[in-house]
Amino acid sequence: MEGVITGITKFGAFVELSSGSTGLVHISEIDDDYVKDINDFYKKSDKVKVKVLSVENNGKIGLSIKQAKAGYTPGGKKDRKKNETENKASFEDKMNRFLKESDERLLDLKRNTESKRGGRGSYREAF
């Protein structure tokens, strides 16, 4: 169906359908990519194609823009899993690098602190 965005909130966009009723596109149904701010994708009064996901007993209509796109495949989650695996490897690399740098900083800090306090390795005269 086609509709017009009538309002944008932090959690989604309200779309008025050609039938005159209004539904909500949840922020997770805006695009395949992560959406932090809907205003980066759409603005008020934009025309959009939507897919009706649900109509509840109280009249609320759940809509999706990403599922209405021509290239959308429900099996896209498999590709997402593959990307998560690739990101996981890079996350582990980042974590290892962080731990190594952190250990080096702690060693430097200990060396500097011990020499100022007269800890191990410093010469003290006996009285």
- Give the whole-angstrom CA distance, residue 25 versus residue 53: 9
> What's the whole-model pTM score?
0.56
Low-confidence stretches of the chain (pLDDT < 70) are 71-89, 114-127
Structure confidence at residue 109 (pLDDT): 83
Burial of 50 (0-12, 13-18, 19+ CB in 10 A): buried
